[in-house]
Amino acid sequence: MKKNNFLSITLPWILLLGSCIGLLAQSNHAAVKHKKEGLYIQRPEGKVYGSLVYPESKQAVPLVIIISGSGPTDRDGNSGGAFKNNSLKKLAGALGNQGIASFRYDKKGVGASSEISKNRDEIVFMDFVKDVAAWTVHFKSDTRFNQIFLLGHSLGSLQAIKSAQLIDVDGLICLAGPGYTMDKLIYRQLTDRSPFLAKGAKPLLDSLAQGYKVKEIHPFLQSIIVPNLQEYLISVFQEDPANEISQLDIPSLIIVGTHDVQATTNDAESLHKAATNSKLVVIDSMNHVLVNSPKEFQENLETYNQAELSINRQLVESLCDFILKTTQ
């Protein structure tokens, strides 16, 4: 198979990107010992590799499948060498310390899963959704786990929502996820950061949202509207996260941080209002890479490359509370 890193797309949604620590060390409970295991599944386009973290337990425990965001974001939450924050790796470790298993993986075209057989211009959003469903099927037969939750971070939130429509899971967690269609979110971010680019991008985004490819893309916009990823962009622009989550009736947890410059409280509230069975948690000072950060943009961005920072404590507490209450 040929190497084809088709996930090098850099949407403004992931413009800033998409060691295990004892987060709850101040609590009265000692961290639960946990193990690590490498896994892969064979998909039509190639092998998809991931990491399982699970507690040493004689009883079955809940499992959280962690889905990373868009672009070249790997299983640990790091983005193509540009940023290393280990956000998802730290999250897995923190859950493991609390006796909750987790699985995270490299998407096709990223990290260990970089060998694929599908051309970039043939990739569509549902290809990734089906991978999540395949992993879910894989773990449903694993007797170590009694319940399965899907946790999607950033655009991974939309993948989790769509996957939950394909196969039954026990709960859904949307972490810093979009609440509106991606073309609107891209335009919003461009408007906030570069009004000049936003003006040039608007007709291109509108065309793709209507299902039509564009022929001429200004060089300044080609990192946003990648010429040979237009089929993917068209497919993801068709998905309205609020509409999709409204079709589910499973327990859902929607989380966003007040200092997140990619997902906003409006995104989270959009999902929460549309969901039939959801809880909304807004975490003060948490940003997109799940740590406390300054609100100022440049200082916030610097935390994207600071893997030594501790993951937000309230985030882990909220996740554990939701998972364990749903499991009872």
Q: Position of tokens 């609020």?
A: 242
Distance CA 174, CA 188 (A): 20
Residues in Cβ contact with 8 at an 8 Å cutoff, skipping those fewer than 6 apart: 71, 72, 80, 109, 226
Identity of residue 326: T
Both tokens assigned to 88: 């998802």
For strand 101-105 and strand 252-257, is the pairing parallel, antiparallel, or unpaired?
unpaired
Sign of CA dihedral 121, 127, 128, 134: negative
Q: For 12-181+239-327, which CATH superfamily applies? A: Alpha/Beta hydrolase fold, catalytic domain (3.40.50.1820)
Residues in Cβ contact with 222 at an 8 Å cutoff, skipping those fewer than 6 apart: none
Distance CA 191, CA 195 (A): 4
pTM of the model: 0.90
CB atoms within 10 A of CB 197: 18
Question: Taking the chain (328 residues) in consecutive chunks of 10 residues, what is each chunk's mean pLDDT?
Answer: 42 35 38 88 91 92 95 90 90 95 94 80 92 96 96 98 97 97 94 90 96 92 88 96 97 98 96 97 98 96 95 97 86
> Of 105, 240, 252, whose CA–CA distance to 173 is shortest?
252
3 strand-pairing partners: 115
Q: Position of tokens 């991008």?
A: 201
Distance CA 225, CA 228 (A): 9
Sign of CA dihedral 218, 223, 228, 233: negative
CB atoms within 10 A of CB 244: 16
Distance CA 156, CA 26 (A): 31
Q: How many residues does the chain have?
A: 328
Strands, E, within 84-211: which ranges? 101-105, 145-153, 171-175
Sorted by where each begins, the domain ranges of the chain are 12-181+239-327
The CA-CA-CA angle for residues 15, 20, 25, to 5°, reads 115
Both tokens assigned to 68: 């990373």
Residues in Cβ contact with 257 at an 8 Å cutoff, skipping those fewer than 6 apart: 176, 282, 283, 284, 285, 286, 287, 288, 290, 312
Looking at residue 30, its pLDDT comes to 65
